[in-house]
Structure 1
């Protein structure tokens, strides 16, 4: 069991290591590369992947910013904070991790990993365009935040459970078998 835990910890840690550079020949012509460079330097547009599929979408920067402000102004979903709270959350996360460590639910190496960076990154809000729809999907990126590694750790252990059938599915199967 201990060896399995070490393997799983190594896998989690390897998620954060930079992959080795892979040098491949470009499949784009010089003209296409130049066009991409010019597009990426154009401050009047925003380039994002589509919400679904593999499309890349170019949007007018003013429209993109307007939509972001519109969504963030919706008080049904968002509350404006006076200041970022992630620095206030760090001691709370560390207190929980210390409690887990003291109760021997996690070891010192796990606790150190889960505590993450001393200077976490603030969450970032951005929009992904939907193909054939005007609205855009809001995303709040949690990468390298104060809770990122704990969420990643929990997800790693809960993910195998997601392949189990839901209770609703089991219930429906039982009902249909009775008839």
Structure 2
């Protein structure tokens, strides 16, 4: 069902409200892409450990979101909607193919690229942190990653995961404590 054109006459000019709404939707969508695509990619790449697959999932995330908007649906929190869509696509991918562990990727010669300006020591610490993060229970790993790697606020994580903000806070806190224990053991 398409939008019905509604015209308004003001200041000696006719305006098509539907096309104005469409333009605003497009601008909001493009702004959401600019604001969230990097963080969504990092989150997705962390989950699937495959750069090309992460790019495909990210693209599907935005295509599905645009289709949803194009059908006239309203999105109250674009960031949460994008993360939820991406998480659902990752889950679909896991169902299609069993997940590959970080250890097996490293055995195959895979090593995540570090951004420019990162020292070798910082890179090693980062790799160590990611390896230890893999050892956390899923619920803690997800919360810690979204909070500190993706930079999401607790209320945003709560909206994405469908949990209360308090529960998310507890998961982050326990995840950090568990990471500290793992760092001490190694």
Q: TM-score, normalised by structure 2?
A: 0.23
- Decide which structure has the larger Cα Rg and report it: 1
* Structure-1-length-normalised TM-score: 0.24
More strand by share: 1
